[in-house]
A and B are shown apart, each in its own frame.
Chain A
Amino acid sequence: MDDSAIIDLYLARDETAVSETAEKYGTRLRRIAESILRDPSSAEECENDTYLQTWNRIPPNEPRNYFFAFLGKITRHLAIDECRKQTSRKRQALFVELTDEMTECLAGQSDVESEIDAQELSRTISSFLDTYPLMQRNIFVRRYWYFDSIPEISTRYGFSQSKVKSILFRMRNRLREYLVREGYFI
């Protein structure tokens, strides 16, 4: 069933919308959650919560042209929240690693509380990605949106792990410069 038809089921409050969503995207959503949580049972719970949140959000939303991104964003947020709830000892190594990598994108002593418009920041990051060729953009998204490991990205695109690390390192530095230019670290 195509995405638009599934959205119509949600809008009609037809519960088969959930099973259709699970059938089409369940595996991929579970994979995103597992990448972050590294625990199949927590990932499954996260997947189910995603369906509940999707049910509550459509309507008013109608993500006909970006349904998977819409679902994935919910799963990703739920999994990250779950990860944050865990004690630092139990927190997953990959999540800690990615948070550390993100620190490199912050200028100077900017890792402090401040008022940030999250949506505006997302738009700024999207504009930053627009300046890159498709392949580099995808590597960045696979790492920081899908939470893929370096070996997974390396296998996916046929690059050596050192090349993937080098691309990401350069992109993080450029992102920091970009954010400074956009006035995020004043």
Chain B
Amino acid sequence: MKSDELLDAIGGIDPKHVRAAEVMKPYSRKGLLTAIAAAAVLLLVGLAIWKGLFVPPEKPPETYADTSLDLTEATVAETVISSQYRTQILDDAYADYHPVRICDSAYVDLEHELAEILVEGGWKDGNGAAIDTPETLRALVYPLREIGQDQAICLFFLDKGDALTTTHYYVYLKEGLNDTEKDLIYEKLNWNEPKPVPGTVEDGIVICTTSSEVEEQP
């Protein structure tokens, strides 16, 4: 065999590898810079408090999701607090799967990619009405180990959303599962500790109030 033949043969590799290398977005330093800037601000505020030069304002009253809240009269802060980021799979084959939480990659069968799909995501107010134009994101669908595709799937996003990362694995459950079926899935995914972290999803809602809470993993 000659080296040229090897180079030619690489040209004929599975198209899924070519597509994956094409769609994966270039690395952005924006997240890192934002984190550094936030750390610098915190350091300055900390120093100011320590020096007695700065008195933090009183915490505003709680205004968490109240469905009776009239958002047309709400302040920007109230709108942000009561808003939720929701997603909907646009492909018919998976349209009745809804997000639950993230899971560790060990539970995902990464060797068997099922499809590349489009997901619509966007912020909605306490009444479920869209606050701004939704975003359309690409995602790869994978099966979960030891869990049937007719019950749950896993999404790995190729595009970063306002409240979704390109580094986590998001579990989506099929609509209409009963509690026993759900419990069995939760057990298999070792979800005994029900503490969500910012950027994860819980009952179809991404747990965060602003996009700054969603951070990419290194």
A residues touching B (Cβ–Cβ < 8 Å)?
A: 28, 63, 65-66, 68-70, 72-73, 76-77, 80, 84, 98-100, 102-103, 105-106, 110-114, 116, 118-119, 121-123, 125-126, 129-130, 134, 137-138, 141-142, 144-146, 155-158, 184-185
Give which listed residue, A100, A110, A138, A184, contacts B20 with CB less than 8 A: A138
Give which listed residue, A84, A114, A121, A141, contacts B18 with CB less than 8 A: A141
At the interface with chain A, which of B3-11, B41-49, B91-99, B171-179? B3-11
Inter-chain CA distance A34–B1, complex, in Å, is 27
Residue of B nearest to A122 (CB): B12
A129 and B1 in contact, given A98-B7, A158-B27 (Cβ under 8 angstroms): no
Q: Are A99 and B17 in contact (CB under 8 A)?
A: no
Give which listed residue, A80, A110, A112, contacts B8 with CB less than 8 A: A80
Q: Sorted from nearest, which 6 A-B pairs have the closest CB atoms?
A: A158-B27, A122-B12, A66-B15, A69-B15, A102-B3, A141-B21
Nearest Cβ distance between residue B9 and chain A, in whole angstroms? Answer: 4
Residue of A nearest to B28 (CB): A158
The interface residues of chain A, by DSSP majority, are classed as helix
Give which listed residue, A106, A134, A142, contacts B1 with CB less than 8 A: A106
A134 and B24 in contact, given A129-B17, A141-B18 (Cβ under 8 angstroms): yes
What residues on B are CB-neighbors of A125 within 8 Å?
9-10, 13
B residues touching A (Cβ–Cβ < 8 Å)?
A: 1-22, 24, 26-27, 29, 110-111
Inter-chain CA distance A116–B7, complex, in Å, is 13
Inter-chain CA distance A123–B9, complex, in Å, is 9
A114 and B1 in contact, given A145-B10, A145-B13 (Cβ under 8 angstroms): yes
Q: Are A155 and B21 in contact (CB under 8 A)?
A: no
Inter-chain CA distance A98–B10, complex, in Å, is 12
Residue of B nearest to A154 (CB): B27
A144 and B7 in contact, given A138-B24, A156-B26 (Cβ under 8 angstroms): yes
Give which listed residue, B9, B11, B12, B27, contacts A156 with CB less than 8 A: B27
Nearest Cβ distance between residue B149 and chain A, in whole angstroms? Answer: 19
What residues on B are CB-neighbors of A155 within 8 Å?
26-27
A130 and B111 in contact, given A111-B1, A146-B21 (Cβ under 8 angstroms): yes
Q: Are B1 and A185 in contact (CB under 8 A)?
A: yes
A144 and B10 in contact, given A106-B3, A156-B27, A158-B29 (Cβ under 8 angstroms): yes
Residue of B nearest to A152 (CB): B26
Inter-chain CA distance A144–B5, complex, in Å, is 12
Give which listed residue, B6, B24, B29, B110, contacts A106 with CB less than 8 A: B6
What residues on A are CB-neighbors of B20 within 8 Å?
134, 137-138, 141
What residues on A are CB-neighbors of B24 within 8 Å?
134, 138
What residues on B are CB-neighbors of A114 within 8 Å?
1
What residues on B are CB-neighbors of A145 within 8 Å?
10-11, 13, 17-18, 21
Inter-chain CA distance A70–B5, complex, in Å, is 19
